Amino acid sequence: MSNQENMSEATAEDMAVIPTSQHRVSCNGGGGALGHPLVWLTLGTDDKVVCPYCSRTFVKSTSDNS
C-alpha cells in the first residue's frame, strides 16, 4: 500500500503547472535518476504545453515577475 501512495505523490508532483515567460521551454522531469531525457517544447496557440514524458504543464505567465 505504501508503494501506491508513493506513486500517487510522484504523479501529483510531476503534473505540476509551471509558469514561464518564454515561448520555448525545456523539461528534464526534475533531473537525477527519476528524470527523463531533456526535451524542448514550444507553447501552443493556447499558451501552454504538456511534457510528453512527465506531464508537467508549462503555461505562459501573465505577470511581469517571471
65 falls in which pLDDT band (50, 70, 90)? low
pLDDT digits (tens, 9 = 90+) for 1-41: 444 444 444 455 556 899 999 999 999 998 788 899 999 99
Q: Which of 2, 3, 49, 1 is nearest to 26 (CA)?
A: 49
- The predicted pLDDT at position 6 comes to 43
pLDDT digits (tens, 9 = 90+) for 34-64: 899 999 999 999 999 999 999 999 999 987 5
Please give the full DSSP string across 43-56, using - where no structure is assigned.
--TTSEEE-TTT--
- The predicted pLDDT at position 43 comes to 98
> What distance in Å separates the CA atoms of residue 64 and residue 46, rounded to the nearest whole number?
19
Q: Which of 6, 57, 4 is nearest to 34 (CA)?
A: 6
What the chain holds in terms of domains, given with CATH numbers, is 2-60 (2.60.260.40)
